[in-house]
Amino acid sequence: MEFRLRLKPWCCLVIATIGVVQFSMPATDRLSDQRCPDANPVAFVGRTGIRSLSKLKRAEIRQVLGVIGKLLVANNPTDLEDPGEFGDLARQVAEVKTRKELQALLVPYVLLQVKINPESRVKISPSGSEVMRDKVKLEKDVANRFLLQVDNHAGVTSTLNISAIDLSLQPPQTADWITAIVVNEDGISSKMSGQKIEYLVVELLAKESGLKEVRLVGDAGQGTQDLGFRATADLLIDVK
Amino acid sequence: MENINSLHLIRCLIISLLMSLCNHALQSQEPGKAEEPLAVPVQPLLSHVHRLSEAMEIVGRPLTEKAMQQIAEIKKVDNPGQVLMEVQNLFDPFCIAIVDVAQTGAPKVSRGPASPKLLEQGWRTFLVKVINRHGRTGRLFVESPNAQPLPNAPVSEVDKRWMQISSYDGQPLRPNLSGLAVEYRIVQIFSRDAGSKEAVLEFTVSGDANGDDALIREWRFDEDEDGWNAMNQIKVDAKDGSLQIESTGDDPFMGAEVVSRGGGFVLRFWAKTDVVGIGQLFWWTKDIPYATGNRQTNFILEPNKEHLYEVPFHVEGELAGVRLDPLVKPGKMRIDWIDLHSQQRNENWAQLETEFQCEASTPVTFRVFDEKGLPAFAKFEVRDSEGRIYPAQSKRLAPDFFFQRHIYRGDGEVLSLPPGQYTITCSRGPETLPEVQSLTVGAEPKELLYRVRRWIDPSKAGWWSGDHHIHGAGCLHYNNPTEGVSPEDMMRHIMGEDLKVGCSLTWGPCFDFQKQFFTGDVAPESQYPYLLRYDIEVSGFGSHMSGHLNLLNLKNQIYPGGDSKDHWPTLGLSTLKWAKRQGAVCGPAHSSIGLTSFIGRLPDTEGKDGDNLLPNFQIPAYDGIGANEFIVDVTHRVPGADGKLVSAVDFISTMNSDRIAEWNMWYHVLNAGLRVAASGETDFPCMSGERVGIGRVYAHVDGRLTFDKWVQSIADGRSYVSDGFTHLIDYRASAADGKQVVDVGVNGSELKLEQPKRVRFSAKVAALYGRQESDSPVHQKVELIVNGYPVQSVDVNCDGSLKDVTFEIPLVKSCWVAVRAFPNAHTNPIYVVIDEEPIIGSVDSVRWCLAGVEQCWKAKEPFYAKSELNEARAAYRHARLFYQRLLDEHAR
C-alpha cells in the first residue's frame, strides 16, 4: 500500500482557494529555497476558523496545523500539480470540534503511535491506519515525513528519539541504509510539550532502494528500558 | 521443539532433498505452470529470521546457542539464494506444516518435517512455513475442530476435542503475513491426553484484498466505536485506534448489530485486560431479537497480556447481533480489533490430517493435610514457567471448572504434568495462609505436600461459615456435556474453600435435571463438618422479575400445581407464603440489583447521608432482580410451619453485590422497626465464578453443626456477614451495670432496658488481608452503628490477631446497634428496647421505604400476571399502610 505525502503547491494555490491573505510564520531552512516562501497553515485557514474553540483546543490545533505544515513542505516540495490534499486536510483540522475528530482526521498520516506511560516508559507501535499496515513506500534519497501521535501520560517534556535498527546485521545495529529522526527545527520541536496528546514529525530518509525492514526504537531520554519489545516497531519499507 | 544436534549437516542434506521434493510436489500440482524459484530479498528475510528467534524465546522455546550461531553465520552470506536455502535448512525441521498461499482460495498444505510429538497436558511449539509467491498480506489462521472448547460440547465431541492450538502473533511478530515469499509463523499445540491422537489442522489466509468470504464483519476503532454500543454497566470509547472499555459493575455488556445467515461462527478479538476471570458472548437473531440465557458462550480472560481471543459459537436462525460481556466485574479492557468469521469451512480453507504421538506426562500426587494433620481438600493454582495454567482451562470438565484458574484436589489425588518448573499457589479459603511452592517435575512421579496453616478458625468458637447461594448449574456452568455439575463436584469446591455449609440452589437453567439432587435434607455427599444442601432460588421463572428469592430448608421444592418451574406465581409474596408455611428460611438474592439507579432523592434529606453513603436517601428505580419486592414483603407476616404468624422474609442477602445499596436497604428497613437479618452469599458462579464463599455468613451454632441449626441462626440473625478476611465474633451487648447481657441472635437479639442507660457493646475482631490481596488494607476501621450511623470507631491492625473491641455509649431511646467493618464485614443488630418503646431509627427511613413501595409498584406491576394483580395490589397496599401508619404514629 502506497503512502507518500507529496508537497502540493498548497502554499500558493490554497491561498487563492480559501482566500487567506497573509502568512506570519517565518520560513524554515528547508523552505528557504522553495518557491512558496511561507508555510503557516494557521494563517492559511484563517484565524476565525478556530476562534470558537476553547483555549486548549486552539493551542492543540495550532500545534497540529504547524505539524502538518512541516509534513507538507518536506514531502516532495517541487510538485506543483495538485493543491488539494493538504489544503483540505488543514481546513478540516481547523474545523474539528472534538479531539476525537482531530485524531480521526490524522490517522492516515500517522506512522507510529507513541505512548508514554506514567513511569515514562515509551511504547511505540505502527499506526493503525490501513495505508501503513502492509509496507511504507519511500523514494530513495527523498526525505519523507510522517506524523507521530504522542500519548503522553507522564507529562514529560524531554526529547523524543526514534532510531533505526537493521536486524539483518550481526549483531543488529544502527541501520546504514535509512535514517529516522524526530524533526527539530523552527516551528516544530522534537521535545514533547507535556500535553497529553500531541503530534510530532518523524523524517525517514532511505539511501538504498528495495524491499527492506527496519526496527524503529523509541525513547524519551531514558533509554528504551524495553520489556517485551514495547518500544519497537518493525516496519517493512519499500524504497523505490 | 527439538534441538539441533550434531548430525546437523546430514540433516541439512536430507532436508534440502526433502525441500526440493516438496517444492517439486507443490509445483507439480499445477501441471503446465512451472512455478518460478522462490526469491526473497535478503535484508527483510534476515530481519524476519531475527524476529522469529526473538519470538521463539518469548514463547519459551528459545533456539539453541548453536542455532543462534548459525543465524549469525547466515547473516554473513552474500548470495541471496544461499541465504534462503540456509534459512530453510535451519527452520524447516521445526515446521509441522508447509502452507503454500494461493493468489485466491485455499492454500496448498503439506506436512512439514517436524516430528509430530506432543505432550499430555503440555504445550509444544512448532513452526508453520508460509510460501507466499503472491505477496498476500492477510492473516494466516491455523485452527482445528479438535481444538474446540469442551464446555458446552456435545457428549459425542468430548473425546475428539483433545487438543488446543494457539498461533503466536504478538511482538516482535506481526499479526499479518509480511508478503515475503517465505516466512515462518509460530503455533503451539496442547494435548489433553496421552497416546496416539488424530487431528485435522485447518488453514486459510484472510483479511486482505484476496481474503476469503468467511469474514462476516470486521470492527475497527480508528474513527469511532464502529457500531458497538454500551448497553449495561459499561463505558465504551474509541481511542487511539482501540475500543477502551470500562466496566462499572458486575454485569457489563455492549452490543453490535451484524447480519448473517446462521451456522457456526467465531468471534476473534485482540485485547488486553488486567482482570482475572471470564467473559461472555451472547447473540440474538432476527426472530428472537434480544440476548437470551441459552444463547451464550464463555471465554477465559488472559490477564496482563495482549491476547487473541477466539470465541466459537453456533447460531440457530439468522444472526442479527452480538453482545459482548467482556468482563463480569468492574475493570478495564482494551480491544484493538474485532472480527467475526463464519466457521463454515468453504473452499478457502485447506485441511491437513495429522497423527500426533502424545507422550504421557508425569503424575504428581497431592498430599493435603489440614491443620490437625487430617487428609483434606485444598485449592491449587498451577502455573508453569511461562505462566500457563494447568490443567488447561478450555479443556476442563467437572470437577475442574473452566472459568477458574485454580483447581481443588484432595489428599492422594493426582494431576498429570509435563516435565518442567511449576509454581503452585496453595490455599484453603480465606481463613488460611496461602503459600507458594516451587515444583520441579521430571520423568519420575512426584508428590506435592501442602499442610494447611490457618490464621483463624471461627468454628472453634461456634461460628460456622456458609454461603447460602451457590449453584451446581450456574451462569458459567454448561448445559453440555452434562446439565451443570454434580453434588460431588460442589462438595469438592466447598471443602476446598473450607466453607462449612453450602446451599446449592436449583434455578431456571437445568432445573428439571438439578432438581433430582433435592432431598429435603443435607445431601448424602456431605462430609461432616462440610454440609451441602439443595434448595431453590426463584430465578428465571415465577416471581423472578420482582426480585429473586432464596428459599432455604424447604421440605418440598416445587410449588403446588406442577412438577417443574413454569407454573410458579409471579408475586413473590405468594412464593414466600408457600415456603414459610413449610418452615423455610427466605430472603432476596443479590440484593443491590435494581437499587443502584435512582429516580431522585427523598425530599428534605440533604445532608443526612452517612459515611460511605450509609444510609443514603436516593430513591432506587427498583428496576432489577435484587431486593425489590422485598420492600413490600418485609412488612408482611405470614403463617409459619406451626400456623403462627412469622415474618415473610428472614434475611436480606449481602456481600456479593453493591455493598452500599444492599446495606442501605437493610438499614432503612431496620430503621422502620422491621427486624430482618443480613446473610452472606456469593451467587456462585453468576455474580462471581471466582470461588464459592466469596460472600459468606458465619452463623453461631450450639454444639454439633447441623444444617437446621445453622439456617435457624441465619433467620435469627445469630451471625455476621463477611468476606472471610474480617471477623466480628461474639458480638454482644450488656448494660453498663453488667446485669443484662445479650448475645447477637439469642432471645430475639433484644436488650430490654427500663430506662436510658450506658450500654457496652463488644466483639472479638480479627482481619488479615496482607497475604491474600495485593491492595490489602493495613488497618480495618471498626465502627459501632446506631440506627445506621456510626457513633464510635476504632482502627484494628490487619495482622490476623483476635482483639477484643469494646464500645460504650449512653442510649436514651430504643434503637438497633451493630458493628461494621466497611465494606468487609457486619454483625447483625442487637435491638435495644428502652421502656418498651418501638424502634424507629429514622422517620426519613420510613419515608424512604414508603417511596420505595410506590416506585416498586410502578416498576413491577407489568410483570405480575393478570390473575395475580389483585393479590399484588393488596400486598402493596398492606406495605403502604404499614409505613404510613409508622409515619402517622410518629407525627402523633
DSSP-assigned states of every residue in B679-690: EE---BTTT--S
pLDDT tops 90 at residue A89 = no
A182 within a domain of the structure (yes/no):
yes
DSSP B34: P
Closest CA to B438 of B368, B383, B497: B383
Cell 535448512 -> residue = B89
pLDDT tops 70 at residue B227 = yes
Q: Do B406 and B280 meet the contact criterion of CB atoms below 8 Å apart?
A: no
Share of chain B above pLDDT 90, in %: 75
State residue A132's pLDDT score. 67
A113 within a domain of the structure (yes/no):
yes
pLDDT tops 60 at residue B651 = yes
The alpha-carbon gap from A37 to the nearest alpha carbon of chain B, in Å, equals: 35
Name the more confident of B335 and B29: B335
Q: Determine the average pLDDT of the residues in B553-564.
A: 97
Q: Determine the average pLDDT of the residues in B40-54.
A: 96
Homologous superfamily, domain B725-841: Immunoglobulins (2.60.40.10)
pLDDT tops 80 at residue B329 = no
Of the candidates A172, A210, A211, the beta carbon closest to that of B50 is on A172
pLDDT tops 50 at residue A22 = no
Q: Is the CB of B172 less than 8 angstroms away from the CB of A232?
A: yes
pLDDT band at B300; cut points 50, 70, 90: confident
Q: Is the CB of B47 less than 8 angstroms away from the CB of A213?
A: yes
Q: Determine the average pLDDT of the residues in B787-813.
A: 97
State residue B2's pLDDT score. 40
Pick the most confident of A77-91, B46-60, B221-235, B868-882.
B868-882
Cell of A204: 525517514
Q: Is the CB of A167 less than 8 angstroms away from the CB of B47?
A: yes
For residue B23, list its beta bridge partners.
none
Q: Poorest-confidence range of B21-35, B279-293, B584-598?
A: B21-35
pLDDT tops 90 at residue B676 = yes
Range of A118's domain?
A: 10-239
**Tally of CA atoms within 13 A in the half-sphere of B246 that contains its CB:** 5
Cell of B701: 451454632
Name the more confident of B568 and B778: B568
pLDDT tens per residue, range B134-184:
999 998 999 999 998 887 788 999 999 999 998 888 889 988 899 999 999
Cell of B432: 488460611
A117 within a domain of the structure (yes/no):
yes
B341-364: buried (b, 16+ CB within 10 Å) or exposed (e) per residue? bbbebeebbbebebebebbebbeb
* Integer Cα distance of A180 and A143 in angstroms: 10
* Integer Cα distance of B844 and B776 in angstroms: 36
State residue A41's pLDDT score. 38
* Integer Cα distance of A56 and A44 in angstroms: 20
DSSP A217: E
Q: Is the CB of B76 less than 8 angstroms away from the CB of A170?
A: yes
* Three-class SS state of B465: strand
Q: Determine the average pLDDT of the residues in B208-234.
A: 82
pLDDT tops 70 at residue B588 = yes
State residue A34's pLDDT score. 29
Closest CA to B401 of B485, B294, B286, B327: B485
Test the B interface: residue of A92, A198, A213 with most B CBs within 10 Å:
A213
For residue A238, list its beta bridge partners.
A137, A211
Any B CB within 8 A of A18 CB:
no
Tell me how many degrees the CA angle B412-B418-B424 measures, rounded to the nearest 5: 60
Cell 446497634 -> residue = B817
Burial of B289 (0-12, 13-18, 19+ CB in 10 A): exposed
B361-451 fold? Immunoglobulin-like (2.60.40)
Q: Which residues of B touch A (CB under 8 A)?
A: 41-48, 50-51, 54, 58, 71-72, 75-76, 137, 171-172, 174, 176, 178-179, 220, 222-224, 238-241, 336
Any B CB within 8 A of A100 CB:
yes
State residue B68's pLDDT score. 96
State residue B341's pLDDT score. 86
pLDDT tops 50 at residue B307 = yes
Q: Is the CB of A210 less than 8 angstroms away from the CB of B76?
A: no
State residue B328's pLDDT score. 73
State residue B886's pLDDT score. 97
Q: Determine the average pLDDT of the residues in B380-384.
A: 94
Q: Do B115 and B37 meet the contact criterion of CB atoms below 8 Å apart?
A: no
pLDDT band at A18; cut points 50, 70, 90: very low
State residue A49's pLDDT score. 36
State residue B305's pLDDT score. 79
Cell of B321: 447481533
Name the more confident of B234 and A133: B234
Q: Poorest-confidence range of B466-475, B658-667, B770-779?
A: B770-779
Q: Poorest-confidence range of B220-229, B489-498, B849-858?
A: B220-229
pLDDT tops 60 at residue A156 = yes
Cα-Cα-Cα-Cα torsion B52, B53, B58, B62, nearest 10 degrees, comes to 140
pLDDT tops 50 at residue A171 = yes
Of the candidates B43, B54, B223, the beta carbon closest to that of A168 is on B43
Q: Determine the average pLDDT of the residues in A33-47.
A: 33
Q: Do B714 and B468 meet the contact criterion of CB atoms below 8 Å apart?
A: yes
Domain with CATH 2.60.120.260 in chain B: 215-343
The alpha-carbon gap from B807 to the nearest alpha carbon of chain A, in Å, equals: 45
| Neighboring chain A residues of B171 at a CB cutoff of 8 Å | 228-230, 232
Tell me how many degrees the CA angle B487-B488-B494 measures, rounded to the nearest 5: 85
State residue B628's pLDDT score. 96
Name the more confident of B644 and A22: B644
B215-343 fold? Jelly Rolls (2.60.120)
Alpha helices in B566-658 (DSSP H): 572-581, 630-633
Test the A interface: residue of B222, B243, B336 with most A CBs within 10 Å:
B222
| Neighboring chain B residues of A167 at a CB cutoff of 8 Å | 46-47, 50-51
DSSP per-residue codes, B147-159: GS-STT--GGGTT
Beta carbons within 8 Å of B726's beta carbon, 6+ residues apart: B765, B766, B767, B780, B821, B824, B825
pLDDT band at A85; cut points 50, 70, 90: low
The alpha-carbon gap from B83 to the nearest alpha carbon of chain A, in Å, equals: 12
State residue A157's pLDDT score. 86
Q: Do B205 and B101 meet the contact criterion of CB atoms below 8 Å apart?
A: yes
DSSP per-residue codes, B188-232: EEEESS-EEEEEEEEEEEESSTT--TTEEEEEEBSSS-TT-EEEE
Please name the residues between 108 and 167 in chain A that touch chain B, using a CB distance below 8 Å. Answer: 113, 115, 127-129, 133-135, 149, 151, 166-167
Q: Do B564 and B589 meet the contact criterion of CB atoms below 8 Å apart?
A: no
Domain with CATH 2.60.40.10 in chain B: 361-451, 725-841
* Integer Cα distance of B379 and B400 in angstroms: 11
pLDDT tops 50 at residue B819 = yes
* Integer Cα distance of B350 and B328 in angstroms: 37
B139: closest chain A residue by CA: A134
Q: Determine the average pLDDT of the residues in A58-78.
A: 66
How high does pLDDT run on average in chain A?
70
A34 within a domain of the structure (yes/no):
yes
State residue B479's pLDDT score. 80
Q: Do B774 and B811 meet the contact criterion of CB atoms below 8 Å apart?
A: no
pLDDT tops 50 at residue B883 = yes
B416-438: buried (b, 16+ CB within 10 Å) or exposed (e) per residue? bbbebebebebbbbbbbbbeeee
In chain B, count of helices (H) and strands (E)?
Answer: 12, 51
A1 within a domain of the structure (yes/no):
no
Closest CA to B494 of B654, B720, B696: B696
State residue B153's pLDDT score. 82
pLDDT tens per residue, range A91-139:
788 788 777 788 888 888 899 989 887 777 788 888 866 666 678 989 9
Q: Poorest-confidence range of A164-178, A187-201, B10-24, B27-41?
A: B10-24
The alpha-carbon gap from A14 to the nearest alpha carbon of chain B, in Å, equals: 27
pLDDT tens per residue, range B409-422:
999 999 999 999 99
pLDDT band at B730; cut points 50, 70, 90: very high
Beta carbons within 8 Å of A42's beta carbon, 6+ residues apart: A24, A25, A50, A62, A65, A66
* Integer Cα distance of B531 and B85 in angstroms: 68
| Total count of domains within chain A | 1
Cell of B125: 511449539
Q: Is the CB of A168 less than 8 angstroms away from the CB of B76?
A: no
Q: Is the CB of B172 less than 8 angstroms away from the CB of A234?
A: yes
State residue B570's pLDDT score. 97
State residue A187's pLDDT score. 78
Pick the most confident of B474-483, B773-782, B860-869.
B860-869
For residue B868, list its beta bridge partners.
none
The alpha-carbon gap from B241 to the nearest alpha carbon of chain A, in Å, equals: 6
Name the more confident of B69 and A134: B69
pLDDT tops 50 at residue B31 = no
A3 within a domain of the structure (yes/no):
no
Closest CA to B724 of B701, B688, B694: B694
A66 within a domain of the structure (yes/no):
yes
How high does pLDDT run on average in chain B?
91
pLDDT tops 70 at residue A12 = no
Give, in order, the Cα–Cα distances in Å from B269 to each of B64, B217, B243, B278, B672: 33, 12, 11, 15, 51
pLDDT band at B687; cut points 50, 70, 90: confident
pLDDT band at B495; cut points 50, 70, 90: very high
pLDDT band at B474; cut points 50, 70, 90: confident
A59 within a domain of the structure (yes/no):
yes
ipTM above 0.85, yes or no: no
* Three-class SS state of B662: helix
Q: Is the CB of B171 less than 8 angstroms away from the CB of A212?
A: no
Name the more confident of A23 and B456: B456
Give, in order, the Cα–Cα distances in Å from B614 to each of B141, B147, B604, B794: 53, 50, 17, 18
